[in-house]
């Protein structure tokens, strides 16, 4: 990968996000991680992330709410939802809000990596074509 995507992991489970961070880093990605949606939103202003990995079930602000906020701040960021439990309702909500994909935990890193790459490709493609209305 010539250009490596900048990824933000948002998950209240500390060990999950730090180890995932290490795994993605050794694959050549630039990774930050935070434990809550609020921290994530605060980081968006000063960083240009390409892809955000977002947990659904978090205290205070859920991943679904966070997704809506992220899209308001920067609709170009691709968001992949990671969740421990599949629910059709939640999945629909996420797609409606412009989420890129929806992945179930546990999920092998290779699979996640592939999703991040296609999400990143899509983002660059769109940016190359200029802003869409």
Q: Residue 106 interacts with other proteins (CB under 8 A)?
A: yes
Decide whether 47 or 87 has the Cβ nearer to other proteins. 87
Site for other proteins (CB under 8 A): how many residues? 21
28 part of the interface to other proteins, by CB under 8 A: no
Among 73, 86, 92, 95, binds other proteins (CB under 8 A): 86
**Under the phi-then-psi rule, with left for phi > 0, alpha for psi from -120 to 50, and beta for the rest, what region is 94?**
alpha
How many Cβ atoms are within 10 Å of 69's Cβ, its own excluded?
Answer: 15
Out of 39, 42, 74, 84, name the contact with other proteins by CB under 8 A: 84
Q: Does 93 bind other proteins (CB under 8 A)?
A: no
Q: Which is nearer to other proteins, 4 or 36 (CB)?
A: 36
CA distance linking residue 74 with residue 94, whole number of Å: 16
Helix (H) or strand (E) segment spanning residue 55: strand 51-55
DSSP 71-119: HHH-TTSEEEEEESS--HHHHHHHHHTT--EEEESS--HHHHHHHHHHH
Contact between 87 and other proteins by CB under 8 A: the answer reads yes
Binding region for other proteins (CB under 8 A): 12-13, 15-16, 19-20, 22-23, 26, 57, 59, 84-87, 104-109
């Amino acid at each position: 990968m010539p250009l490596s995507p900048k990824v933000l992991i948002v998950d209240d489970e500390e060990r999950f996000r730090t180890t995932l961070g290490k795994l993605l880093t050794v694959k050549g990605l630039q990774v930050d991680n935070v434990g809550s949606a609020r921290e994530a939103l605060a980081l968006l202003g000063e960083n240009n992330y390409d892809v955000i990995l977002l947990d659904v079930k978090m205290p205070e602000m859920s991943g679904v709410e966070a997704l809506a906020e992220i899209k308001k701040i920067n609709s170009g960021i691709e968001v992949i939802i990671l969740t421990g439990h599949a629910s059709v309702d939640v999945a629909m909500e996420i797609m409606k809000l412009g989420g890129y994909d929806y992945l179930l935990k546990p999920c092998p890193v290779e699979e996640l990596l592939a999703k991040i790459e296609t999400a990143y490709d899509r983002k660059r493609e769109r940016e190359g074509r200029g802003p869409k209305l």
